[in-house]
Amino acid sequence: WGKAGTNQERTFLAVKPDGVQRGLIGDIIARFEKRGYKIVGLKMIWPTEEMAAAHYADLSKKPFFPGLVKFFSSGPIVCLCIEGKDVIKQGRQMLGETQPLASKPGSIRGDYSIDLGRNICHGSDSPESAAHELKMWFPEGVNDWNKAVDSWVYE
């Protein structure tokens, strides 16, 4: 389970504080469910500043880091582990670009966001970051389920 390159590849997705406050949790989850992906981990957490800083540790030298940490810890987020073929890459496509202006309509950011620092959701950008972020946000692990439906999604 969870191995990149298989039909059980897993990624970490978060509905950021702005997405939660704007009532977009259901829509974001529905997009992944409807596409055929499985929600195998799901919970709401209000991140501390320490958790936010750890999540964005690779950006710690950037001038916008303090504001990013403050924003990411400003309210509850929804943590999701989503499973399926190519979900890391496809998930990033469904999110859109980091910059909302560059995000196509039809993507989550292209449909719901305007400003870079309020871009609604996060998704892991590589197998390495997915493994790292899933360990950080789901230390208790996620659920293995429902392999029986796979033949209706994969040939």
What residues act catalytically? Answer: 122
The string of DSSP codes covering 122-154 is EE--SHHHHHHHHHHH-TT------GGGGGGT-
Nearest to 45 by CA among 136, 118, 115, 110: 136
Tell the smallest beta-carbon distance from residue 138 to ligand RTP (Å). Answer: 17
Give the CB-nearest residue to ligand RTP: 98
**C-beta closer to ligand RTP: residue 64 or 145:** 64
DSSP state of 104: P
Tell the smallest beta-carbon distance from residue 55 to ligand RTP (Å). Answer: 8
Nearest to 81 by CA among 120, 138, 132: 138
Contact residues for ligand RTP, defined by CB under 6 A: 59, 64, 68, 98, 116-117, 119, 122-123, 125
Tell the smallest beta-carbon distance from residue 150 to ligand RTP (Å). Answer: 28
